[in-house]
Amino acid sequence: MTSTLDHPTLVAPTSVSSTALRVTFQGVGRSFDGREVLRDVDLEVTPGEVVAILGPSGCGKSTLLRSVSGLDQPSAGRVLIDGTAVNGLDTRCAVAFQEPRLLPWQSVARNVSLGLPRGTDRASGSARVAELLELVELDAHRDLRPREISGGMAQRTSLARALARRPGVLLLDEPFGALDALTRLKMQDLLLDIHGAYPTTVLLVTHDVDEALQLADRIVVLGRPDDATAATVTQLLTVQGARPRIRNDEALGRMRSSLLASLGVDAHRH
């Protein structure tokens, strides 16, 4: 089975190893200045699983993601990684955002190296960066500055930087949202190849139902049931079929309609 846009199969470098970690949300809630945003989020993400988080704008998707990395702390409940509660910035995680957030005065290779664990020696760090640049097909562009590369290449650099420390959990917050439609499709295929070569646990926040269906093992929908002010898990859907998936598959089409309906969108208009 092949995807709409074929992408070369990536082979994991010999020194790349991943220990994918379990992520557990136990009654997670979050309030800001007395306004409750999230309530009673319970979810278990198994090691190596790709889970997409969907929901309307402002429902707390990014807040939930930040609670895994320790960039934000729940007001109620807790998040555990591999059975240990997250308490402050957690080095078991790496994050890639919608904007690549590259240092403009540094080369592609140097930006990737910023993700290496502190104390990495020069020889092993250089080897790791070289492996990652090959993994994301940027080895020929290692000496360019961010202004000299495309948006898709910048996002690939951001992904390589996030993988530099071999995270047990990779958190992706709308990582392809700023890209044009064609580049976005190519980046989705590349992410699948990267996950095949480096099978870490992935949590992906997206507004794109089709992206979620293409990439995820399971899809979590955050919503506000019964006109509640705070969001919680309102739907948990398992996506059938091995990846890569055929984008116009009928079964995916039915799931797409169901997801759009749960988000209050008429599938016949989209």
pLDDT tens, per residue, the chain with 270 residues: 323 233 333 333 333 345 899 999 999 999 998 899 999 999 999 999 999 999 988 899 999 999 999 999 999 999 999 999 999 999 999 999 888 999 999 999 999 999 998 888 889 989 999 999 998 999 999 999 999 999 999 999 999 999 998 999 999 999 888 888 898 998 898 899 889 888 999 999 999 999 999 999 999 999 887 767 889 998 899 998 888 888 888 888 888 888 888 887 765 555
Other residues' Cβ atoms within 10 Å of the Cβ of residue 17: 9
Q: In the 8-state DSSP scheme, what is residue 248? A: T
**pLDDT in the model for residue 7:** 31
From 235, 268, 237, 263, select the one nearest 251 (Cα to Cα).
237
Q: Is the N-terminal amide bond of 244 cis, ω within 30° of 0? A: yes
**pLDDT in the model for residue 266:** 61
**pLDDT in the model for residue 2:** 29
Q: Is the N-terminal amide bond of 117 cis, ω within 30° of 0? A: no
Domains of the chain, start order = 23-92+169-269 (3.40.50.300), 104-166 (no CATH)
- Give CA–CA dist 72/53, Å, rounded: 17
**pLDDT in the model for residue 268:** 58
**pLDDT in the model for residue 13:** 33
Residue 24 one-letter amino acid: T
Predicted model pTM: 0.88
**pLDDT in the model for residue 12:** 34
**pLDDT in the model for residue 265:** 75
**pLDDT in the model for residue 1:** 30
- Give CA–CA dist 81/220, Å, rounded: 18
